[in-house]
Amino acid sequence: MGLTSHKVLAVAVFAAVVLFALTVWRWPHLARRGVRPVLGRVGLLFATQVAIFAAVALVANRSFLFYASWDDLFGRETGMGTVLAHDTNPSGVVTAAQTPISAGIPLGGPASRRGLVRETDIAGPRSHIVSAAYVYLPPQYFQPRYKHHLFPAAIVLTGYPGAAKALVSRLDYPTVARAQAAAHRMEPMVLVMLRPTVAPPRDTECVDVPHGPQTETYFARDIPDVITHSYRVGPGLTHWGIIGDSTGGYCALKIAMHHPHDFGAAVGLSAYYKAAEDTTTGDLFHGDETLRHQADLMWMLHHENPPGTSLLVTTSRHGEKNLASTQRFIAAVKAPARVSSIILPSGGHNYNTWKREIPAALVWMGKRLD
């Protein structure tokens, strides 16, 4: 029985109800003194609590699809994603690149061998936003033969609310990027890792909110300018990409589509395609329908000229809620935009799934930057 199946949920709920009823029925008998009655009370309470917790967890998992299967839950789902390139010309021909991608190797040694991750605050001169970030510099950055080289760079975003450190400690972006460059699958790349929550606890959906946080300006203009002036990173779309998961994935796609002359590639891992509007976002648009349309990526594809950038979207056939919307997004992309996808057989909305997609996504992005 699958983790998200009705049978598993029914068994968990049934077990919780039975154990609760058994506890109520047997409690007078177990209220006596002695070792056995005490152990009986402890055992029934523990079993009941476990059953109730399991039932609640299964309901939450079915609602939010954090894990798609038992293998996904226990980290045994390890099949790596492969990139499928979709032809955006009217002919509709589809080709696939089936190159296996490794998950990376541990970092170790001096900066010229392992690279360096710097924790810093990035202050935006236009947006006046300041946010903590982790900047990964590849080993080649410290090697003499690269001292005049301008490196490509990618902004890496978490979901909402997210923790920027998780991009280093949980999703292993520096380790994966180093491994792929060492295997000559991609050029060495600088990574600027941070969360999209720049006005906590508010979720701004990477929108320039009227009379509020200018989040899109911060990510699209300020960060590239600050990094290109602070590090040996090249400017413009041949040097810059953006990647993110969940809310960060939506932000990545939207920013690249809004700024196709500044970003050569964007990756949306488990992304959605329209700005959320709820209690966490507040009023993002203040009645401005133009802004609301601009935050709807499907509306943009249908009503505006196609952006001349490369897009990669990911989903799973089992375990992700965005499968249907991702397929519609792929079908709507037209030249000169280019779209590719990673569609896993199974995988939920979680770190384990994204770790299976990140290596192939970074290689794909690296091939589209200088």
**Domain limits, the chain:** 6-64, 84-368
* Residue type at 222 in one-letter notation: D
pLDDT at site 14: 83
- Alpha helices by DSSP H, listed for 245-322, are 247-258, 289-294, 297-303
Token representation of residue 131: 């946010």
Q: How far apart are CA 184 and CA 13, in angstroms?
A: 51
My answer on whether omega of the bond before 235 falls inside 30° of 0, hence cis, is no
**Are the C-beta atoms of residues 13 and 59 closer than 8 Å to each other?**
no
167 Cα distance to chain centroid: 9
pTM: 0.76
Q: How far apart are CA 41 and CA 47, in angstroms?
A: 10
Closest CA to 177 of 80, 83, 97, 104: 104
- Kind of pairing between the strands at 265-269 and 310-316: parallel
Residues of the chain by 3-state class (helix, strand, coil), percent to 5: 40, 20, 40
CA distances (Å), origin 230, targets 132, 151, 226, 349:
15, 12, 6, 35
Token representation of residue 292: 């609301």
**Are the C-beta atoms of residues 275 and 281 closer than 8 Å to each other?**
yes
The per-residue pLDDT string of the chain (370 residues; one tens digit each, 9 = 90 and over) reads: 666 667 777 877 887 888 788 777 877 776 777 777 778 777 777 888 887 887 787 776 555 445 545 554 565 555 655 556 565 554 443 333 332 333 333 345 688 889 999 999 999 999 999 999 999 999 999 999 999 999 999 999 999 988 999 999 999 999 999 999 999 999 999 999 999 999 999 999 999 999 999 999 999 999 999 999 999 999 988 999 999 999 999 999 999 999 999 999 999 999 999 999 999 999 999 999 999 999 999 999 999 999 999 999 999 999 899 999 999 999 999 999 999 999 999 998 999 999 999 999 999 999 999 6
pLDDT at site 248: 97
Q: For residue 101, how many C-alpha atoms fall within 13 Å in the half-sphere facing its CB?
A: 27
- Kind of pairing between the strands at 94-96 and 84-86: antiparallel
240 dihedral zone (left: phi>0; alpha: psi -120 to 50; beta): beta
* Residue type at 105 in one-letter notation: I
- Kind of pairing between the strands at 240-245 and 190-194: unpaired
Q: At what angle do helices 173-182 and 351-368 cross, to 10 degrees?
A: 40
pLDDT at site 247: 97
254 Cα distance to chain centroid: 14
84-368 has CATH 3.40.50.1820 classification: yes
Residue indicated by tokens 């970092």: 107
pLDDT at site 51: 78
pLDDT at site 84: 60
CA distances (Å), origin 194, targets 83, 255, 281, 335:
25, 15, 19, 31
Compute and round to an integer the Cα radius of gyration of the chain: 24
pLDDT at site 9: 75
Token representation of residue 128: 């006046």
Q: How far apart are CA 310 and CA 241, in angstroms?
A: 9
299 C-beta neighbours (distance < 10 Å), count: 15
Residue indicated by tokens 């090249």: 234
- Alpha helices by DSSP H, listed for the chain, are 6-30, 35-64, 70-73, 111-114, 166-169, 173-182, 215-217, 223-230, 247-258, 289-294, 297-303, 323-332, 351-368
**Are the C-beta atoms of residues 311 and 266 closer than 8 Å to each other?**
yes
